[in-house]
Amino acid sequence: MIQQVAAIVAPLFLIVGVGYFYGARVRPEMKITNQLIMDIFMPALILSVMIRDDFFPRQYFALMLGGALVMLGSGVVAAVVARGCGFNWRSFVPPAMFSNWANLGIPLYVLSLGDAALGAGIMLVVVGNILCFSIGTYIYSGKLSGFDVIKTPIIVAVIIGALLNFMSVQIPGPINQTITMLGQVVIPLMLFSLGVRLTYVSWGDSSAGLVMAVLCPLVGVPLAWIVCQILPLSSLHQSILLLFGVLPPAVVNFMLAEQYQTDPERVASMVLIGNLFAIVSIPLVLFFVLGAG
């Protein structure tokens, strides 16, 4: 079991590490790369999965609801903790809710549970992005963003994919292959990009970072387990939701906090320390998930 878990997590953290050390030495400009991930490669991956003959959106509805409940529940607990610790809730709550569903989550699901987990992982990314760029943006900015989330390429890809899937449209072979190849770029690139982005964040207020590092898995995993007892989820989706619960804060929290000037240094600390602590928490949850499976 130890070797199995090591074989799963080692490639993830090694690619992140390569990105981190390259970023620390070269300091590359990743804005264009990150934009390509969000505007081209991730939408292509989503579209390539949704137009497959064996993809049925309705089988993911319960999982998507479960993911939303875990995020919202984590936010409620984080608000209570923030008040008790004297942290600004606007900067503390979002990192507890919005984790690395894409950069770390999708590779983790696929490596540990197989290719069958890819579609489910993508649907959790969709739910996460909807909540992050609606509720999350509101928390950070204090203002409602309207329907801007619908305009994001990821959500556009979901809408197009759902329509093509519903109408059973057959995509011509060369176009299908092109979309698939573009989507295959995204998983290693996201891990590498995560490593580079972590070089831009700092320890800052380490007290908030340490609290968040412990809070994420300590709250997320039990919430995911409770949701698994309530919703009609397959064993595969239960495993994915448990792994979803252990994921650390996403770098997008730092980007939004910086954009709206909501304690960006403190959020940076929570992202950095949370991702470092994931080296311990993710293998522990993997032991449980693989053992239960």
Query: Quick one: pLDDT at residue 292?
Result: 65
d(CA 243, CA 221): 8
Q: What is the pLDDT of residues 204-238, one digit of tens each?
A: 668 899 999 999 999 999 999 999 999 999 999 99
Give CA separation, 27 vs 86, 144, 194, 229, 257, in Å. Answer: 35, 34, 13, 46, 21
The helix/strand/coil state of 99 is strand
What are the CA-CA distances from residue 142 to residues 138, 139, 152, 155, 273 (Å)?
Answer: 5, 5, 20, 23, 26
Instruction: Give residues with Cβ within 8 angstroms of 24, minimum separation 6.
Output: 199
pLDDT at 123: 92
Amino acid symbol at 209: G
Residue 23 DSSP symbol: H
CB-CB contact of 199 with 24 (8 Å): yes
b/e map of 136-157 (b: 16 or more CB within 10 Å)? bbebbeeeeeeeebeebbbbeb
- Residues whose CB is less than 8 angstroms from the CB of residue 7 and which lie 6 or more positions away in sequence, other chains included: none
Q: The dihedral of CA 112, 113, 116, 119: what is its sign?
A: negative
Cα torsion at 215, 134, 179, 10 (round to 10°)?
Answer: -10
Query: In 3-state terms, what secondary structure has residue 249?
Result: strand
At residue 249, the pLDDT reads 94
Distance in angstroms (rounded) separating the CA atoms of residues 256 and 40 = 21
Q: What is the DSSP letter of 59?
A: G
Q: Which residues of the chain have pLDDT under 50?
A: none
Name residue, tokens 């609606």: 134
Query: Residues 6 or more apart from 54 whose CB is under 8 A from it?
Result: none
What's the one-letter identity of residue 27? R
Distance, CA of 172 to CA of 39 (rounded, Å): 22
Residue 166: its pLDDT value, please? 86
Q: What is the DSSP code (8-state) at residue 104?
A: I
Residue 201 carries which side chain, given as an amino acid letter? V
CA–chain centroid gap for 46, Å, is: 14
Q: CA-CA distance, 155 to 105, in Å (whole number)?
A: 18
Q: Tens digit of pLDDT for each residue in 24-39?
A: 999 888 778 888 888 8
Q: Which CATH number fits domain 2-292: 3.40.1190.20, 3.40.720.10, 1.20.1530.20, 1.20.120.1200?
A: 1.20.1530.20
Check the CA dihedral 221-269-258-42 and report its sign: negative
**Separation between Cα atoms, residue 216 and residue 97, nearest integer Å:** 8
pLDDT recorded at residue 81: 97
Q: How far apart are CA 264 and CA 290, in angstroms?
A: 37
